[in-house]
Amino acid sequence: MAATTNNAELLQAHADLWCHTFGYLKSMALHSVIKLGIPTAIHRCGGGASLSDLQVALSPIPKSKWPCLSRLMKLLVASGIFRESEPGVYSLTPVSRLLVEDDIDGNQQTASTCLSKFTVMATSPFHFAASQRLPEWLMKNEDDADAETPFKMAHGAGFFAYTGRDLEFGTLFNDAMGACSRFTAEIVVRECGGAEVFAGVTSLVDVGGGDGTTAKAIAKAFPHVRCSVLELPQVVDGLPVDGVVEFVAGDMMEFVPQADVVLLKFVLHNWSDEDCVRILKRSNEAISTGANRKVIIIDTVAGSASKQTFEAQALNDICMMVLTTGAERDEEKWHRLFLDAGFSRYKINPILGSQSLIEVFP
Ligand SMILES: C[S@@+](CC[C@H](N)C(=O)[O-])C[C@H]1O[C@@H](n2cnc3c(N)ncnc32)[C@H](O)[C@@H]1O
Ligand SMILES: O=c1cc(-c2ccc(O)cc2)oc2c(O)c(O)ccc12
């Protein structure tokens, strides 16, 4: 055995290794309790509940499985997802509050802070199957087109081609990003000197804007901004027309519609440097005649962070490696992309941890 200094260290190392080895079971336990609606059910019981208090919400679970559910809850208490305020009584923590579907008034609509759909997508078999191809993918040469990403190796198509091909996955993904957008858009509008960022702006195109959640939030908060969304045809085709936001079907690699502002929210982290420069050049062309013209990027600026945020950044980065050809970038890498795409200056406004709003000027 490798030299290990003492028993206490060996014990700790052994326990740590077990936690890392079985870490995926924490993800699956989390996935299960969201599917069963447990965080929302605890919230509806007033913030603390025993399993028998949750009986109605948990009616699909046969009595014989309740001891198993209690074991699952024990793991999630140990992981900080729930708290056991007294034996057998579970309450929410700041983490599980992010999984409650009711809004603050108790209405049965998805709360703007609810990230359940995002977590269900990120812990789905689609993601797991892709991540299991990592070792094989790492050994493949770059010139093997079928091995472009671990996701493509697992599912036979690139991420965005697959969202169009598999309706279940496409819906899962679009709903998940919609939930993420509700969460971030509220913070952008509230915290980021939103009024200043959008002052004098008359039009905005949200490129790769998904189901339009962010564009609608901006149109509502800043009625002087006419908002549109450029998306892939497969996304636009399924969306209802609401008159608030105009949807344009197209390919951002080829053309971006004219506007004062081009918004790219969690889009560039999906693409290689080369593709990002191409998207940014199309965006620069789109704002060429705007009055208060700029590109706004909402994305991660990796870098100085607490240990916890640093690990979250590293996990997001690997998620991008598994699913797409993208990566999380630090300020130096962002700066290089902006220069290569012909922009002159930029300003980073942090909004939540390492998520930032970057204004980029021609
Ligand atoms: C990670 S999602 C971000 C969605 C949204 N901006 C958000 O923050 O929730 C990336 C989006 O880019 C869209 N997309 C991918 N390739 C595209 C392309 N070539 N042209 C336009 N949109 C594209 C996808 O359909 C997807 O909705
Ligand atoms: O699974 C994801 C997660 C993200 C993501 C991570 C962290 C954030 O602060 C925002 C978004 O983004 C994704 C994405 O852009 C994608 O195309 C596929 C999956 C994910």
41-50 pLDDT per residue, tens:
999 999 999 9
Q: Please check the confidence at residue 290 and state whether its pLDDT lies above 90.
A: no
ipTM: 0.96
pLDDT bucket at 187, cuts 50 / 70 / 90: confident
Predicted local distance difference test score (pLDDT) of residue 58: 81
* Res 351: pLDDT: 87
Measured at the CA of 33, the angle between CA 30 and CA 36, to 5 degrees, comes to 150
Which residue owns the Cα nearest ligand 2 atom 17? 270
Query: Contact 258/290 with Cβ under 8 angstroms?
Result: yes
pLDDT at 70 over 70: yes
pLDDT > 90 in the chain, percent: 73
Q: What is the mean pLDDT of residues 253-276?
A: 97
Q: What is the mean pLDDT of residues 286-300?
A: 90
Q: Which atom of ligand 2 is nearest to the CA of 312?
A: 7
288: amino acid identity, one letter: S
Q: How far is CA 11 from CA 14, 23, 78, 258, in A?
A: 5, 18, 18, 62
Which range, of 19-28, 57-66, 94-103, 197-206, averages the lowest pLDDT? 57-66
Amino acid at 335: H
Q: What is the pLDDT of residue 288?
A: 83
pLDDT at 354 over 90: no
- 8 Å CB contact between 326 and 320: yes
Q: Determine the CATH number of domain 191-361.
A: 3.40.50.150
Whether 356 lines ligand 2, by a CB cut-off of 6 Å, is no
From ligand 2's centre to the CA of 174, what distance in Å?
11
pLDDT score, position 129: 97
According to the model, what pLDDT value does residue 186 have? 82
**Ligand 2 near 153 CB (within 6 A):** no
Distance, CA of 149 to CA of 138 (rounded, Å) = 9
Question: What distance in angstroms lies between residue 266's CA and the mean position of ligand 2's atoms?
Answer: 7
Distance CA 3, CA 9 (A): 11
- Cα 251 to its chain centre, rounded Å, is 22
Dihedral sign from CA coordinates of 109, 110, 111, 116: positive
Q: Which residues pair with 330 in a beta bridge?
A: 302
Q: Computed from CA positions of residues 215, 217, 218, 220, in that sequence, does the dihedral angle turn out positive or negative?
A: positive
Q: pLDDT tens digits for 132-164? A: 999 999 999 888 877 799 999 999 999 999 999
pLDDT of 193 higher than 90? no
HSE value, Cβ hemisphere, 13 Å, CA-based, for 228: 18
351 vs 59 pLDDT, higher one: 351
- Is the C-beta atom of 323 inside 6 A of ligand 2? yes
Residue 294 φ/ψ, nearest 5 degrees: -170, 165
Out of 31, 43, 127, 269, the active site residue is: 269
Closest CA to 162 of 323, 289, 53, 319: 323
Q: Give percent of the chain above pLDDT 70.
A: 95
Task: Fill in the amino acid letter for 277.
Answer: V
pLDDT at 109: 63
What is the band of 292 on the pLDDT scale with cuts at 50, 70, 90?
Answer: confident
What ranges in 192-306 are assigned the alpha helix state H?
A: 194-198, 213-221, 233-236, 273-286
**Domain spans in the chain, listed from the N-terminal domain onward:** 23-105, 191-361
CA-based nearest residue to 208, from 164, 155, 251, 168: 251
| Inter-axis angle of helices 7-21 and 23-35, nearest 10 | 40
State if residue 263 touches ligand 1 by the CB under 6 angstroms criterion: no
Residue nearest to atom 14 of ligand 1 (CA): 208
Identify the residue whose C-alpha is closest to ligand 2 atom 6: 316
Which of 60-69, 105-114, 346-355 shows the lowest mean pLDDT across its residues? 105-114
pLDDT of residue 4: 55
Residue 5 in this model has a pLDDT that exceeds 80: no
| 14 has catalytic annotation | no
Could you say which ligand is closest to the alpha carbon of residue 269?
2
Interval between CA 175 and ligand 1 midpoint (Å): 13
> What would the CATH number be for the domain defined by 23-105?
1.10.10.10
pLDDT digits (tens, 9 = 90+) for 89-125: 999 999 999 999 987 666 666 677 899 999 999 999 9
How far apart CA 287 and CA 326 sit, in angstroms, is 24
| Cα distances (Å, whole numbers) of residue 249 to 201, 252, 254 | 23, 10, 12
**Is the minimum distance from the CB of 13 to ligand 1 under 6 angstroms?**
no
Between the alpha carbon of residue 114 and those of residues 38, 117, 171, 183, the distances in Å are: 13, 8, 17, 7
Q: How many CB atoms lie within 10 A of CB 57?
A: 17
Which residue CA neighbors atom 7 of ligand 2 most closely?
316
